[in-house]
Structure 1
Amino acid sequence: MIKRNETRLIEFILLGFSPNRQPFLFAIFLIIYFLTLMGNMMIILTVSLEPQLHSPMYLFLRSLSLTEIFYISVTVPRMLRDFLQLDRSISFIGCAAQLYFFCFLGTTECFLLAFMAYDRFVAICHPLHYMTIMTKTKCLELSLGSWMSGILLSLMQISYVFSLPFCSSNIIDHFFCDILPVVKLACADTFANEIAILVYSSLVIPLPFLLILVSYIHIITSILKIPSAIGRTKAFSTCGSHLTSVTLFYGTATITYLKTKSIETYGGTKVMSLLYIVFIPMFNPLIYSLRNSIIKNAMRKLIKR
């Protein structure tokens, strides 16, 4: 344990994963990382270069892909580095920065998914007014609002966490600086911090999810009123990709942070974290492209160019 003036830590140690099969794990996660970057970059380029995709639904998707690229880059490169080196220390400032960007980008994604649900609600429930309600300017404002919410909310939260004194153990049983493992290391009463984390979590998880839930209740109600089966199927298909993405993201995050002691004991927390930190950013380009013929055709044109 390294201390400043024998009282304050200047670095943490990330335990990461078991040292067994390190080269195998390094190769697997390196491939996943590059596939994620390539998939999301293809979405960004396709939406940017194809004029027919300059509608709010696809502009939101471009913002989501950009967020996913940054989101996975906060943790995976550091994890790959730790697979190759015995020294797994991370500086106090480095840990704070990693946790800040992780919270910031996670918060941004929560709000983006909520605004994408609102976009589908307007398109299906108010189709005649869609172009006047969901303009490109409105889409840009909502996307920027998602990013600004992530920046400000996370800045306040992380400043509060890292104002705590850390003078005991410096070992984080995780592959990145997650908020709860870091708070547990503080050598002070953390009750106020835990309340702050609860308030923060209530703003960035249940609030966007509530907007998604309300939007889909109205969407389903409107779709069931469509007389033709073909019309209902077509309407449902426009929401299928987003609903799949929401289910995966919120499902895995909820299981991770509402874990049982048995899951935590056998390292299940780290495995579950991999799902929404590593695998979902890789799956999202597939989810949105394979189920959407317009994006697939636009990608084919881009590849031919």
Structure 2
Amino acid sequence: MKSSDTSVVSSGSPVGKPIGKMALLLHDIKRQKHSYILLAPYYLLFCLFTVLPVVLSFLISFTHFNMLEFPRWVGWQNYTRLFLEDDVFLIALKNTLLFVAVTGPLSYIMCFIFAWLINDLPPKLRAFVTLIFYAPSISGNIYFIWLIIFSGDMYGYLNGFLMKAGFADEPILWLQDPQYILIIIMIVQVWLSLGTSFLAFIAGLQNVDPSLYEAGAMDGIRNRWQELWFITLPSMRPQLMFGAVIQITSSFAVAEVSMNLAGFPSVQYAGHTIVTHLIDYGSIRFEMGYASTIATVLFAIMLGTNLLTQKLLKKVGE
């Protein structure tokens, strides 16, 4: 009997009787036990440091826990407080969703376009340009560059340019004015996001089989846009999915950019995000039950967004 069959012959069981998913899993583990033994250390660490903390965070979100006393069960009180009483969280939620809606797709598309253009360069030049694009994501504290650019006095690069060009009569307080703060954070985040996803797209473009383009030309593909849609993108689905997950995660998890540029908290919470709200209650106030509630809501939003993105990427090339 082939291993792919979903039926078994056993005493007292009719031939062709369906096996449950758990039985199939156990059968597969038994058949490929050596592979599972090699993967066991990773599974153990993943469950210990990823799955378990997520489960514990979900359970703690239903308690009042201040790190000093034993957690006290409060039910849905934290969630009620979060959505009905916490006005700052609603500001953070609005800022985060707006941030994700703008920077997520923009940085994702920019990463792919730059990778697509750079892929046609000679190997040495391509390696050099790739390093230039990837460098900001691995640099240390590079926020001082942007602080100089958006400095609120006449010595700031942007203010100096605007005043010399006659577009402004006095310096603009870029990082103290609520109408500019979120826009500036978006610009810096997009600049920083040209990193891991960009490298993944470069690798994906390098691995597309050239014979597919020849076959496509024989099947009626006449220009590069058709090649891109019907050949390149479908061949890069794993890299596209990886890049989407990275971009979504980095967009939802933005906090460092906001805290370094706009301060913590920012003026009128203009640069406040869900993660900075989480840091406020988890690392400063030590209200771990409420912080776990924020983390659980953020996890649910990120999970739903990733599932939606997966469905959209499956339609690429159709």
TM-score by length of 1: 0.28
Structure of higher CA gyration radius: 2
Give the helix-richer structure, 1 or 2: 1
TM-score by length of 2: 0.27
